[in-house]
Amino acid sequence: MLRIQVLHGPNLNLLGTREQSIYGILSLDALNVAIVKLAEELSVKVDLRQSNSEGELVTWIQEARIGYDGIIINPAAYTHTSIAIRDAIAAVGLPTVEVHLSNIYQREEFRHRSYIAGVAIGQISGLGLTGYLLALRGLHDHLTTLRREKNVSAPVKSRRMTTGKK
């Protein structure tokens, strides 16, 4: 079974009440319920976490090296500022999808720069909850393809047959 870490960055704990004109009325709990539902359909185990702390997010990314196959991250405001999160993702080498509820490229100029995009296999921005679900489906498909290719290209060990006769 694939294991995917889903990380929600700063202020996402306020979803549903925070800047509803930008982020909508969906709460973080409701978002997580939808992610878990799709994960069950895909036979994926997800570990959902939220932190307002850059250091805690970096620690969780580093810990994902053991036991996880990929990461979905909404770094929120850290998208535009955190070289530490970018470097942690690069260091662990796990396929990572960056996701944003709002379209960061239609917002303020300073939000147009993502430090994370350069180390992610993909970025989904502006589709709300659907963006997270697409990230999960896309990462699942990517990881499944990698596993299949790894199994196909793995050398087959030859078995030496013996008959017991000398």
Two tokens, residue 149: 């290719």
Question: What is the DSSP secondary-structure string of 97-148?
Answer: EEEESS-GGGS-GGGG--SSGGGSSEEEES-THHHHHHHHHHHHHHHHHHHH
- Measured distance between the N- and C-terminal CA atoms of the chain, rounded to whole angstroms: 46
80 is annotated as an active-site residue: no
CA 158 to chain centre: 38
Q: Are 115 and 79 a contacting pair, CB within 8 Å?
A: yes
Exactly one of 68, 78, 100, 132 is catalytic; which is it?
A: 100
Handedness of CA 15, 18, 21, 25 (dihedral sign): positive
Exactly one of 23, 78, 115, 132 is catalytic; which is it?
A: 23
Task: Look at residue 9 and give its three-state secondary structure.
Answer: coil
Active site residues: 23, 100
